[in-house]
Amino acid sequence: MIGVELGTPTEARAWTAVYLAGAAVWAMARIARRRGIRPTDRVALAVLRMAAAAGALSLILDPALLVKRRRLDSPVAVVVDASASMATRDARRKGMSRWEAVRESVEQRLPSLSRRCSPVLFRLKNHLSRVDRLDGEARGALSDFSRLAEIRNAATGVKAVFFFSDGRRGGGPDPRGPLAALGVPVFTVGVGNPAAVSDLAVESVRAAPFGFKNVEAEATVRLRLRAVPPGRARLSVFSRGERLGSRWIEWTREEVVEATVPFRPARAGPETFEAVVDPRPGEANLRNNRMGFSMDIGRDRRRILYICGHPGPNYAFLRHQLKTDPTVELVTFVILRDMDNLLGYSDRELSLIPFPTQAEILEGLPSFDAVIFESFSFQRFGVGPAGTEALKRFILGGGGFLVMGDEAFSPSSPYRGSALESLMPFALDREPSAGPNRFHAEPPAGPAPFSAFDNGSEGWNSLPLLEGGSTFPGALRRGAIPILRAEGDGPLAAVLGSGRGRVMGLTSLTTWRWALGGQEETYIRFWSRALAWLTGEAEFKRVRLLPPDGADPGEETILRALVRDEAGRPVPDAEGSFTVREADGNLGAGVFRAAGEGEYLASITIKAAGPARVEARFRRSGSFLGEDRIVLNAGSAWNETADVTPDFALLEDISRSTGGQFTTLAGFTDDWVKEALTPLAWETRRRIPLGDSMFVVSFLLFLLLGEWIYRRRRGFP
Amino acid sequence: MNAFPLRCRSLSWKPILLFISVFAVWPSFAGDVPGNRFVYSVLRHEGTWDPYGDLWPEIAQHLRSTTSINPWPDRRVLGSSDPALFESPFLVLAGRGAVAFSSDDADRLRAYLSAGGFLLVDNSEADPAGPFARSVSSLPARLFPDGEWKKIPSDNAVFRSFFLLKEASGRRKSGEGLKGLWVGGRLAAVYSPDDLEGPWVRSPAGGWLFPCEPGGEPQRLEARKLLVNIVMFSLTGTYKTDAVHQEYLKRKLDLP
């Protein structure tokens, strides 16, 4: 096919054209006024002069001859918006989402497109990605239309773009500039029902940053109603799929409803929750019926099980301390009567109750944070191998275990040969060493996770003497850390981390002498810290994840973890890994790298806005060391599903500014495609500028010469 | 009847027997310390502080045979200025005649009770108007600004720490019941006006020296139970008011 192209004249050429036009008009006027010229001569001269003038004028416009050929394989980008608003179910067929409708329509038109071009499929979510098929779901958190300009990098030689979207743009710059710079027409296809969609949306959730396990908390939820008839719906708070609380809300014609939902957190630690409003009939967008939020849930109280083999001052003082500690819920049993006690009393006269069975103890075990056995011959009271195995699992799973009494750490210990032996801080197969029966307690030589005193050794000298059975455990188990020792002699107390849990052994049952002897503060401090260590309070965690200042979706965030051993010393050679569960349910994982001094770093990129739960685990020499978890709130100023009403005005603007066209999905027909692609179906093979052609210039001169010859032959001046 | 074989009589067995019995009765002679065992400590004062002599072996034997308490075989006698006061969690102030405390004595007793010590005040006169009763009635006020003896209710843990008791009695039964002094929310001292030690005293013949009035032997039994309860209470505190016990106790108390 041959075509003509005209250029844009410069200013000089434009003025030249004006002069030539003026000269042509003058020449035509002369002919018209000349007398004695026959009409045929007048017409001939006028035609010759007009042709010459027209030819000269056209040269000013830099004309060119185009030799074109038909091309049916020009690359054309077909981009479908896959952001979350495209999941709205208001498409042409009932129940069909916008995304599904586009996918169906594109698949129907693909043969037609393929006859006229070479379509290249793209999906636009948080970023632009080239795809072979339009599968998956519309879940993107952002609608950054400016990313369409990345087409030039993804596919070379694209001649046009077909862009299917509902026009809900958010999370990026104004796309019109970048798209205009793309240099190709963008044909936009509007998807969705531009009339207001009926939508009940969770607009915001407010809750306190902290709460307590099993203690009622509140979430204040703000709902936005669009075209929702009067009615009622249930508003709930969920965590890990479990409904924790709910209430019914009613409305008439309000556009905004705010309600407070009470709920009880079921687990301690950083937790994510969801406020969910049940969908209304006919609601097109269900994505915005829920919104996540996070809270740091503390334990209301630490549950301690304390079993004592026989009453004594140690039980009296320690029980009193635990009972008066508001952070402790104490369940305790003390054996008041031995099997061999002779009783001449009826059961009615005694206040004794049956000791819990092993089954009852094991059933309640998971609910405790720590277990204390003081001089307790557990085998005599029905705690057999199954019981000790269960206790071992309890400890390895994160529980604390305190064993008191020197008989527990001798070769005749009831723990020897049991499942618990390997968890004891003292080796039970060693003969005990002899020592004094009255002694000062001293701190150990090296670091310990906790102590009776925060610093300095002067306080130790003022402590009342302790008493014991003149023997001390033979040896510490490997990995155990001493907490107390007898002055100049053997260990009194030691701790050992086991799996996720902790075990403490204390041989002397006379720390009460510190309290009675005027050092009550020391006594309270020692046992408070021991309890905090046993129950794994934050200050004693072997692994601590430090939350970053903030996290932006799509941006790299650095995670920091501090790793310490039982004695609180930095661990330089641990291996750490982490998992991430994002707000949209996607899972990610990675590893930490050592940064020195027990600090570890990892790079993480969260894609979805909202709360993301991060869990980190560390191992050392193949053994579990510790773990921690936090919730990161990946922020975004754009809520993709807050308002899903289509915005076709933007789409029309884009097509207009790029030389394309706009239509709705219903108008995306074969004829429309053909009309859009026809200009693209021809490729210019060759361009011949006429102004540079000697043939054209010669023709113009021939016209002028011909006019002169005609006048001379006719005798006109 | 001579329990030992004839041939042994020629040996000097008495010193050996004495040596062995000393060790058997008094293990601390070998260097043992009470440690966590219950020690019955008696406070010496200017009145008749030891009206019945050493009753402790009798009481200890009963504790040992009836409960799981492992009592130290010897009682401890100490004065209010004795440093061992602050090593003795259970203290008995008993006797006849007026009891006088200096201000230093009061300071030390105050510190003792505040630090977790337990005091049993036992009126060996069993006379609510007698000199002992009159002298100890003001003891709480001397020790603490708002200190006073208050009646211990029958549902207090003292009455159910081992035996289930509905009322208090001793050698006498005045009807005044037990009185207590609470320190920092803890029942730190118990006063019995009815002589709790008297029912334990044996005559040289082995019987009981003092009758218990007006209830006789049943009253003696209840009084002995009460002392066991007080000792057990000093070692277990409010244990018997924990929720886990209530259903059982209610069932037993409701029985006719």
Pairwise CB contact (< 8 Å): A341 & B67: yes
Instruction: Write down the pLDDT at residue A568.
Output: 83
Pairwise CB contact (< 8 Å): B115 & A517: yes
Give the largest Cα separation in chain B, rounded.
70
The residue-averaged pLDDT of B79-102 equals 94
Give the tokens for residue A280: 């209304």
Residue B41 near residue B54 (C-beta atoms within 8 A): no
Q: Nearest CA to CA, how far is B156 from chain A (Å)? A: 13
Give the tokens for residue A410: 């001798």
**pLDDT per position as a tens digit, A87-133:** 887 766 667 889 999 999 998 888 888 888 889 999 887 778 888 88
Instruction: Write down the pLDDT at residue B234.
Output: 98
**pLDDT per position as a tens digit, B127-179:** 989 999 999 999 999 999 999 999 999 999 999 999 999 999 999 999 999 99
> What is the pLDDT confidence band of residue A6, given thresholds at 50, 70 and 90?
low
Pairwise CB contact (< 8 Å): B234 & A437: no
Instruction: Write down the pLDDT at residue B244.
Output: 83
CA distance A704 to A52: 6
CA distance B79 to A622: 61
Instruction: Write down the pLDDT at residue B18.
Output: 42
Residue A184 near residue A658 (C-beta atoms within 8 A): yes
Instruction: Write down the pLDDT at residue A685.
Output: 64
**pLDDT per position as a tens digit, A334-351:** 999 987 776 788 888 899
Pairwise CB contact (< 8 Å): B66 & A317: no
CA distance A209 to A122: 41
CA distance B63 to B39: 12
Chain A hits for B31, Cβ within 8 Å: 437, 470
**pLDDT per position as a tens digit, A110-119:** 888 888 888 9
Q: Nearest CA to CA, how far is B7 from chain A (Å)? A: 37
- Residue of B89, B39, B88, B36 whose CA lies nearest to A506: B36
As beta bridge partners, residue A499 has none
- Residue recorded with tokens 């949306």: A201
Average pLDDT of chain B is: 87
- Which chain A residue shows the shortest CA-CA distance from B67? A337
Apex CA A591: angle with CA A586 and CA A593, to 5°? Answer: 145
CA distance B41 to B93: 9
Query: A interface mutation test: which of B36, B82, B88 has the most A CBs within 10 A?
Result: B36
A386 vs A487, residue with greater confidence: A386
Instruction: Write down the pLDDT at residue A638.
Output: 54
Residue B1 has pLDDT above 60, yes or no: no
Pairwise CB contact (< 8 Å): B160 & A351: yes
**Domains assigned to chain B:** 36-254 (3.40.50.12140)
Out of A59-68, A363-372, A536-545, least confident range: A59-68
Window 417-476 of A, Cβ < 8 Å to B: 437-438, 464, 467-470
CA distance A618 to B95: 66
Alpha-carbon distances of A376 from A237, A250, A511, rounded to whole Å:
44, 59, 18
CA distance A448 to A483: 6
**pLDDT per position as a tens digit, A388-417:** 999 999 999 989 999 999 889 988 899 999
> What is the pLDDT confidence band of residue B17, given thresholds at 50, 70 and 90?
very low
Q: Nearest CA to CA, how far is B203 from chain A (Å)? A: 23
C-alpha A355 chain-centroid distance: 50
Instruction: Write down the pLDDT at residue B5.
Output: 37
Amino acid type, A253 = R
- Which chain A residue shows the shortest CA-CA distance from B252? A348
Q: Which helix (H) or strand (E) holds A240?
A: none
What is the signed CA dihedral for B211, B215, B221, B226, rounded to 10 degrees? -100
Instruction: Write down the pLDDT at residue A140.
Output: 67
- Which chain B residue shows the shortest CA-CA distance from A354? B248
Complex ipTM value: 0.89
CA distance A156 to B162: 92
Alpha-carbon distances of B63 from A74, A262, A341, B57, B67, rounded to whole Å:
103, 53, 10, 10, 5
Residue B25 has pLDDT above 50, yes or no: no
Residue A312 has pLDDT above 90, yes or no: yes
Of B68, B185, B249, the CB nearest to A310: B68
Q: Euclidean distance between the first and final Cα of chain B, in Å?
A: 50
Alpha helices in chain B (DSSP H): 6-9, 13-25, 56-66, 103-114, 131-137, 139-143, 217-236, 243-254
Surface-to-core class of residue B135, CB atoms within 10 Å of its CB (0-12 exposed, 13-18 middle, 19+ buried)? middle
Residue A665 has pLDDT above 50, yes or no: yes
Please give the share of chain B, as a percent, with pLDDT higher than 90.
76
CA distance A708 to A48: 10
- Residue of A646, A647, A651 whose CA lies nearest to A187: A651
Instruction: Write down the pLDDT at residue B14.
Output: 45
Out of A196-200, B162-166, B200-204, least confident range: A196-200
CA distance B15 to A448: 53
Residue B201 near residue B162 (C-beta atoms within 8 A): no
Rg (C-alpha) for chain B, rounded Å, is 20
Instruction: Write down the pLDDT at residue A269.
Output: 82
Instruction: Write down the pLDDT at residue A138.
Output: 75
- Which chain A residue shows the shortest CA-CA distance from B184? A324
Give the tokens for residue A528: 């408070």
Instruction: Write down the pLDDT at residue B134.
Output: 95
Residue A508 near residue A468 (C-beta atoms within 8 A): yes
Residue A645 has pLDDT above 80, yes or no: no
Q: Nearest CA to CA, how far is B236 from chain A (Å)? A: 5
**pLDDT per position as a tens digit, A223-278:** 988 888 899 999 999 987 889 999 999 998 878 999 999 999 888 888 889 999 99
CA distance A219 to A205: 7
Out of A37-41, A635-639, B7-11, B192-196, least confident range: B7-11
Amino acid type, A464 = P
At what angle are helices A694-714 and A39-60 packed, to 10 degrees?
A: 160
Of B37, B111, B249, the CB nearest to A351: B249
Instruction: Write down the pLDDT at residue B131.
Output: 94
**Domains assigned to chain A:** 2-69+685-714 (no CATH), 72-196+644-677 (3.40.50.410), 199-297 (2.60.40.150), 302-539 (3.40.50.880), 543-634 (2.60.40.10)
Alpha-carbon distances of A670 from A119, A205, A674, rounded to whole Å:
14, 47, 6
A73 vs A527, residue with greater confidence: A527
- Residue of A357, A360, A313, A305 whose CA lies nearest to A333: A305
Give the tokens for residue A34: 């000349």
**pLDDT per position as a tens digit, A634-643:** 765 456 666 7
- Which chain B residue shows the shortest CA-CA distance from A520? B115
Window 291-350 of A, Cβ < 8 Å to B: 309-317, 319-320, 323-324, 331-338, 341-343, 345, 347-350
Please give the share of chain A, as a percent, with pLDDT higher than 90.
34
Of B164, B236, B255, the CB nearest to A315: B236
Window 367-426 of A, Cβ < 8 Å to B: 375
What does DSSP say about strands B76-78 and A75-81: parallel, antiparallel, or unpaired? unpaired
Instruction: Write down the pLDDT at residue B202.
Output: 93
- Residue recorded with tokens 């008191």: A404
Residue A387 has pLDDT above 60, yes or no: yes
Out of A32-46, A212-226, B22-36, B78-92, least confident range: B22-36
Residue A426 near residue A505 (C-beta atoms within 8 A): yes
CA distance B36 to A406: 11
- Residue of A275, A264, A274, A272 whose CA lies nearest to A212: A264
Rg (C-alpha) for chain A, rounded Å, is 43
| Three-state DSSP state, A87 | helix
Instruction: Write down the pLDDT at residue B221.
Output: 95
Most confident of A250-254, A283-287, A539-543, B67-71: B67-71
CA distance A623 to A500: 11
Out of A603-612, B13-22, B35-44, least confident range: B13-22
> What is the pLDDT confidence band of residue A218, given thresholds at 50, 70 and 90?
very high
Q: Which residues contact B230 (CB under 8 A, 6 or more apart)?
A: B120, B158, B161, B190, B196
- Residue of B186, B188, B249, B194 whose CA lies nearest to B224: B194
Q: Nearest CA to CA, how far is B226 from chain A (Å)? A: 12
Average pLDDT of chain A is: 85
Residue B172 near residue B197 (C-beta atoms within 8 A): no
Pairwise CB contact (< 8 Å): A509 & B238: no
Residue B4 has pLDDT above 90, yes or no: no
Window 7-26 of B, Cβ < 8 Å to A: none
**pLDDT per position as a tens digit, A441-473:** 988 888 888 887 765 567 888 899 999 878 888
Query: B interface mutation test: which of A351, A352, A439 has the most B CBs within 10 A?
Result: A351
**B154 has a chain A CB within 8 A of its CB:** no
Phi/psi of residue A480, nearest 5 degrees: -75, 150
CA distance B175 to B194: 9
Alpha helices in A117-190 (DSSP H): 151-154, 176-180
- Residue of A545, A628, A645, A636 whose CA lies nearest to A584: A636
**B239 has a chain A CB within 8 A of its CB:** yes
- pTM attached to this predicted model: 0.66
> What is the pLDDT confidence band of residue B107, given thresholds at 50, 70 and 90?
very high
Give the tokens for residue B208: 């009981």
Query: Cis omega before residue B214 (within 30°)?
Result: yes
B18 vs A717, residue with greater confidence: A717
Pairwise CB contact (< 8 Å): A437 & B31: yes
What does DSSP say about strands A400-404 and A370-374: parallel, antiparallel, or unpaired? parallel
Residue A486 near residue A436 (C-beta atoms within 8 A): yes
The residue-averaged pLDDT of A4-19 equals 71
**B164 has a chain A CB within 8 A of its CB:** yes
3-state DSSP of A188-202:
EEECCCCCCCCEEEE
Instruction: Write down the pLDDT at residue B26.
Output: 39
Instruction: Write down the pLDDT at residue A417.
Output: 93
B153 vs A213, residue with greater confidence: B153
**pLDDT per position as a tens digit, A486-511:** 887 788 999 999 988 999 999 999 99
CA distance B179 to B187: 10
Instruction: Write down the pLDDT at residue A613.
Output: 87
- Residue of A403, A447, A400 whose CA lies nearest to A426: A403
Please give the share of chain A, as a percent, with pLDDT higher than 70.
90
Half-sphere exposure of A708 (CA within 13 A, CB side): 6
| Three-state DSSP state, A5 | strand
Residue A415 near residue A424 (C-beta atoms within 8 A): yes
> What is the pLDDT confidence band of residue B247, given thresholds at 50, 70 and 90?
confident
**pLDDT per position as a tens digit, A127-167:** 788 888 888 777 666 677 888 888 888 777 888 999 999 98
Pairwise CB contact (< 8 Å): A515 & B115: yes
DSSP B205: T
